[in-house]
Chains A and B, each alone.
Chain A
Amino acid sequence: MLINTVEVNAESELLAFIEEINKAQTLAWSVLLIKKECLKEISNNAFILAVKSKLLDATRAEVFFLDQLVCIAWLGMPAQIRRNLRELITTSLLRENVSENIDEIITYYDPQVMGNELSIAIKARLKNTSAQPIKAAAVETKPHRTLVLESSPKRIENFKRLQSKRTLREKLHILIVEDQAFTRKLLYDVLKNTYEVASAESVERGWQLYLETVPNIVFLDIELTDASGHLLAAKIKEIDPASFVIMVTANNSVEDVQVAKQNKVAGFIAKPFSKQKINEAIEKYKASKGAR
Chain B
Amino acid sequence: MNDSVNLANLREMTGGDVEMEKELFEVFISSSEEAIASLSANILPETSETWRKQAHALKGISLSLGAEKLGDLCKKAQECFQNTAETKAKMVADIKKEYERVKSYLKEL
Chain A residues engaging chain B, CB cutoff 8 angstroms: 1, 24, 26-28, 57, 59-60, 75-78, 111-112, 143, 179-183, 185-186, 189-190, 223, 225, 250-251, 271-275
Cβ contacts A to B, 8 pairs, < 8 Å: A24-B37, A26-B37, A27-B30, A143-B49, A180-B61, A182-B24, A190-B13, A272-B64
Judged by a CB distance under 8 angstroms, whether B60 is at the interface is: yes
Inter-chain contact A59/B20, CB cutoff 8 Å: no
Judged by a CB distance under 8 angstroms, whether B33 is at the interface is: yes
**Contact of A182 (CB < 8 Å), options: B27, B49, B50:** B27
Inter-chain contact A186/B24, CB cutoff 8 Å: yes
Seed contacts A26-B33, A76-B37; 13 additional CB < 8 Å A-B pairs: A24-B37, A27-B34, A28-B33, A28-B37, A59-B38, A143-B49, A180-B57, A182-B64, A185-B23, A189-B13, A273-B64, A274-B9, A275-B13
Collect the chain A residues with CB atoms within 8 Å of residue B12's CB. 274-275
Collect the chain A residues with CB atoms within 8 Å of residue B59's CB. 250
Collect the chain B residues with CB atoms within 8 Å of residue A223's CB. 53, 56
Interface residues of B in 51-72 (CB under 8 A from A): 53-54, 56-57, 59-61, 63-66
Collect the chain B residues with CB atoms within 8 Å of residue A77's CB. 34
Collect the chain B residues with CB atoms within 8 Å of residue A251's CB. 56
How many residues of B sit at the interface, in one of the four size bands?
20 to 34
- How far apart are the CA atoms of A165 and B7 in the complex, in Å? 40
Chain B residues engaging chain A, CB cutoff 8 angstroms: 9-10, 12-14, 17, 20, 23-24, 27-28, 30-31, 33-34, 37-38, 41-42, 47, 49-50, 53-54, 56-57, 59-61, 63-66
If A143-B49, A272-B9 touch, does A183 touch B34 (CB 8 Å cutoff)? no
- How far apart are the CA atoms of A225 and B53 in the complex, in Å? 9
Give the distance to chain B from A185, nearest Cβ to Cβ, in Å: 6
**Contact of B14 (CB < 8 Å), options: A27, A57, A190:** A190
Collect the chain A residues with CB atoms within 8 Å of residue B41's CB. 59-60, 75
Inter-chain contact B13/A181, CB cutoff 8 Å: no
Inter-chain contact B50/A57, CB cutoff 8 Å: yes
Most buried by B among A24, A76, A111, A251: A76
- Of chain B, the residue at the smallest CB distance from A77 is B34
